[in-house]
Amino acid sequence: MLAYSAAGNQYKQQSAMTASPGELTLMLYDGCIKDLKLAKIHIEAKDYAKTNDVLQKAQAIIAELMRSLDMRYELSKQMMQLYDFIIDTLVWANMKKDTGKVDEALVLVSDLRDTWQQAVRLHRQQTGAPGGIG
């Protein structure tokens, strides 16, 4: 089992090292979504230490997405406000152990992920680039 886990980790590392910026952004969204789903499970199980861990990981992912914004563009300024709102929602969810707040963030992040996935797909179709945006 340990060899399987190590192989999985190696595959993830290799995927991240060879991914385009667009694919990396999708990976960040996917990781955040996974953490938010885990947070709901941990809240319901009243495992607040694990809840804290996964919600902090989700916040770190959103913070990384914030750092990647190019603030020369109006859209980036709007995304910054949305990411700020998501982080505030996650902080509240963590303080109150509130699955409703986790759900709010999950809907937003899932919508952003789906939109980004469509943008990557469209970019590939228009440019023939194998890796998407970036």
Residue 129 phi/psi, 5-degree rounding, is: -70, 130
Confirm whether 68 is domain-assigned.
yes
Total number of domains in the chain: 1
Confirm whether 133 is domain-assigned.
no
Task: Find the DSSP H helices in the chain.
Answer: 2-18, 21-44, 48-67, 74-96, 99-127
Contacts of 19 by beta carbon, 8 Å cutoff, 6+ apart: 27, 131
Of 61, 76, 67, residue with least CA distance to 109: 61
Joined together, the tokens standing for residue 36 give 């938010």
Query: Where in the sequence is the domain holding 88, given as residue range(s)?
Result: 20-127
Q: 26: domain CATH number?
A: 1.20.120.340
Confirm whether 119 is domain-assigned.
yes
Per-residue pLDDT of the chain (134 residues; tens, 9 = 90+): 555 455 455 545 555 556 788 999 999 999 999 999 999 999 999 999 999 999 999 999 999 999 999 999 999 999 999 999 999 999 999 999 999 999 999 999 999 999 999 999 998 888 876 655 65
